[in-house]
Every structure is written in C-alpha cells, then in structure tokens.
Amino acid sequence: MNREENDLNVNRLLATAVKIRLSYKIFGAFLLTSFMVVTLMVGIMQFYVSRQFADYVNQTALDRLAALTTQLAAEYQAHQGWQRLKTDSELWNKMLREALPQSDLDRATFSFRPDGPPPPAPRAAMSPVGRRDSSAAGSEEMRPERLHRRLHRLARALALFDADMQQIAGGPLRGSSDRYTSQEIVVGGRTVGWLGLPKRERQLSPLDVSFLKEQSLAFYLIGGGILLLAAIVSFLLSRHFLAPVRRLAEGTRALAEFKFDTKIDVRTQDELGQLAADFNRMARTLKKYEELRRQWISDISHELRTPLAILKGEIEALQDGVRRIDQTNLESLHAEVQRLSKMVEDLHQLALADSQTLLPKDELIEPLAILQEMVAHFQNRLAREGIDTQIELSASEAVIVKGDADRLAQLFSNLLENTVNHTASPGLLKIFEHHTTDRLRIYFEDSGPGVPQEALERLFDRLYRVDQSRSRKRGGSGLGLAICKQIVESHGGKIRAAHAPSGGLRIEIELPLKRRDRNLNQSNLG
C-alpha cells in the first residue's frame, strides 16, 4: 500500500511540474541566465582584482621611486655605464639615501619583507644613555634605527638591471626577472636599464585587505542591482511574450467550439505577430470549409431527393393502379435509377480523390488517341442531338503523357457528356490541340449557350450548375466537371473555363508531356 501511495505522490509531483505555467518558465529562464551572467561577471572581476592588485601596489610603490630612477640615469650618463655600481656596493645604498627623502622612504618600504635579518643598528642608537633615559631621548634617538632598517629593507628589495635584464645592484635575485615589476631607465631616448621591485602575490597589508573588501562589496551590490533589474525585465518580457500566446489559446478554444468568426488582433510584426496572422488565416479557411461542408450536405440531399421523389411517385402510381406496368413506365423507372446510380458513382469518385486513393497509374499513354476513341464513341449521340463535330488533332504518336489511360478516358467522356447535355441543337463542337516540347493543350469549344462571366470560376465546383441555361432536365448532377478537375490535377495539369469566340463555352486542358524513349516497350502505350 505504501508503494502505491509513493507512486501516486510521484505522479502528482510530475503532473504539477508539467502544469507549471509558461510565464514562470520564461521568467525563471531569464532570471537564471541573468544570475549566471552576474555570478560569472562578479567572479571574473574579483579574480582579476585579487590577482592584479599586488601588481598595482608594486607599480605604485615603484612610481614613488622616480627620483631614484632619475639619479640612476644621471649616473649612467656621467660614467657611460654601470661600472661604478658593479664594483662599489656602498654606492647603491648611498644613492638610495640621497634620492629618497624620509617621507618617500616611509611610503616605499612599508610593506617589503626581504629575506634575511636587517643589519645591526648604528652604535649611537644603542648607547647606554639612550637606554637609561628613553623618555628624554624619545623618538629622536630611535629614528635613525628605524630609517636604517627601512633603508636596508628597500635596498634588499630593489634590484637594478641593465638593458639585457642582467642584475647590476640590489638585493639577492628572486628567481627570473619576470617576477619583478620594472621601471625603465632611459638615457638619450634609449633604455639603458631597469629598476625592479619584486611582485607581491599574497602578502597584503590590512589596508589592502580593507580595500579589497570594499571592492568586493561594491561588486556584490552591483550584481544584486543587476539581478533585481533582470527580474523586473524578465517579468515584463514574460507578460509581453505570453499576451499573444494567451490570445492564441483563447482563439484555439473558440475554434474547437466551431466559432469560426474568431479573430486575433495582430499588433506586432515579429514571429508572434506572424503566428497570429496565420491563425486568422486558418480561421478564415476553416470558416470557408465549414460553409462548403454545409452547402455540400444541402446540395447532396437536394440532388438525391429529386430522383428519389420521382421514383417514389412513379412506384406509388403503379401500386395504386394509376399507371400501368408496361415497357414505357419501366424504362422511366430505369432512367431515374441510372441517374441516381451515376450520381452515387460520381460522389464515390470524388471521395476517392479527396482521400488520395484516386491516383493515376504510372504509365506512358497517348492522350490524343484516347480522345479520338472517346469522340468516336459519342459520335452517334452527338449526331442525334444535332451537334456537329470539328476535330483537329495531330498525329498521336508524337504526344506522350505519363498517367492513367482509364482516368483520361473518364475525363474526355465527362466533357463530351457535358456537351451533349448542355449544347443547344443545332450546335457545333470543336476539338483541337496545340503542343510544345513539354506541354499539351486540348480545347473543347461548343456553340452555346454560354455561361455568365461570374460562373466561369465556379464551373468546377462540386454540385454547381448554371440553372438559367444549363438545367438538370438532361440529368446533369453538377459533379462531372469537378471530377474532370480532380483527374487533370492528379496528372500534374490544369483545367480552365473561358468564353468561346462563338459565344459558347471553352474548356482548356493543359498536361505535361514526356519524351518517348527509343527503347520503350510499345506494350506500355495506351
């Protein structure tokens, strides 16, 4: 039982994690990123300051020795080299005492800790009198001792190098010259030597530590201010980014409730604005398809109701004895059944086309030969309706199309059926073609009556008829041209309607051509 409860608790926690609002996720992402950036920035700055502060202190102390640098340059210029300093060790200490006043000596040596003990103090400073009456002598008697020690400390810390960084004077060399902070000595525009001071790395005075603490506190305050500002900006940005998302979510729920008039205001030109525009376009498309669906159901019910009503009326008349069961009445019933069967078959063909089941075969065929065959099949019916034909087709062997021969036969049959049903007698049907190396155009022109201009774009809509001139008394269901459009488009072509020069209707079919392969097996041709 405990295990089941644990699993239930885990599932609840996962569900809670999944349900975290997107605004919190965006806010958290911005804030976490800002925190990482600030932490990295403060860490780098603090690391840089702690590493470079000792060099800064050394360089500052070295800058206070400008007088010594000037005296060393004068020494080099007066004797044309460093020979005296190389041979006379006391000269180095003498130059330090002369070049540095007491105040500079105090500042320059307050933090140096050279190796080795300081030399013994002068004897005057260690006299018995000084010990017996320290209160009378005071700091005056101790001052030479302190100055001597500081001078010795500075002398052992400093180092004089020539132009090639070879030591000339000073305390013991502490490793390589890279461990010294150096100040160049220039004579006549040429660097003749370097005054070096050892780099301090870890030994910091209380004043240095206090300064670093103040700098760290300043870094933390700056980082905290940046984080606070980042939190405010993250909050505002999350609200700004999620406002259109919330509108999209509300619009999506409205579409799920079949409210296709929903529209989202597009206020930006960025990706979110484009998404809102696409949503509005989708809503308009869904609204259009919903209207077409309702119109489709209404038209289908109407088209099926008419032959069914006729069948019902004639059968009831036969049952009541109003009409006799003879050959004429049976043929009338059979005609209505055929009309109904034809409509159901057309609907089935359109359903197959919508589901991508009505795909053409992948074979090479001769469309003009198929057209001539279908014209010959309809020749008697056209003649009975008083419709003459004028056929102008080139040699069919030169025109090859990749597709389905049965579907093309159905295409031409529907167009000829449309001519038989809707061309007034006496009439004329002209069929001609024009082809290039890659395109074939076939034209069907009848003598009328034509169709209005506004009806040309809708002739290929399902169940559409121009009732003023193209009635259903001949059995048209308004599906034949829609099937033609599906067949042509499945072959990669186009079909259009236009006014014929004779005043009737022109149907133009355009199909892509294929080149005949010399090694093609002739059995593949339609």
**Residue with more model confidence, 250 or 302:** 250
pTM of the model: 0.47
* Res. 480: pLDDT tops 70: yes
409, 370 Cβ separation under 8 angstroms:
yes
Please write the tens of the pLDDT for every residue from 501-521. 888 899 999 999 886 554 444
DSSP state, residue 106: H
Nearest to 392 by CA among 430, 418, 419: 430
Q: Which two tokens stand for residue 188?
A: 């006549």
Q: Helix 405-422 crosses helix 480-490 at what angle (to 10 degrees)?
A: 150
**Predicted pLDDT at 495:** 93
User: Residue 7: what pLDDT?
Assistant: 58
Per-residue pLDDT at 501: 87
Residue 375: the pLDDT is 92
For residue 371, CA distances in Å to 4, 31, 215, 319, 416 come to: 74, 72, 93, 46, 10
pLDDT digits (tens, 9 = 90+) for 85-143: 888 878 887 887 777 654 445 444 444 444 444 444 444 444 443 443 444 444 444 45
Environment class of 302 (CB within 10 Å of its CB; exposed 0-12, middle 13-18, buried 19+): exposed
Phi-psi region of 478 (alpha: psi -120 to 50; beta: other; left: phi over 0): left
Q: What is the pLDDT of residue 388?
A: 92
Mean pLDDT of 187-206: 76
More confident residue, 178 or 111: 178
Which residues have CB under 8 Å from 411's CB, separation 6+?
Answer: 483, 484, 487, 488, 509
Crossing angle for the helix pair 327-354 and 480-490, to the nearest 10 degrees: 40
Q: Between 65 and 388, name the one with better pLDDT.
A: 388
Which of 302, 330, 319 lies closest to 462 in space, CA to CA? 302
The whole-number average pLDDT for the span 352-356 is 64
Q: What are the structural domains, with CATH classification, of the chain?
A: 64-114+142-203 (no CATH), 284-351 (1.10.287.130), 359-518 (3.30.565.10)
CA dist., res. 320 & res. 329, Å (int)? 14
Q: In the chain, what are the helix, strand and coil shares in percent, each to the nearest 5? A: 60, 15, 25
CA–CA distance, 487 with 176 (Å, rounded to integer): 90
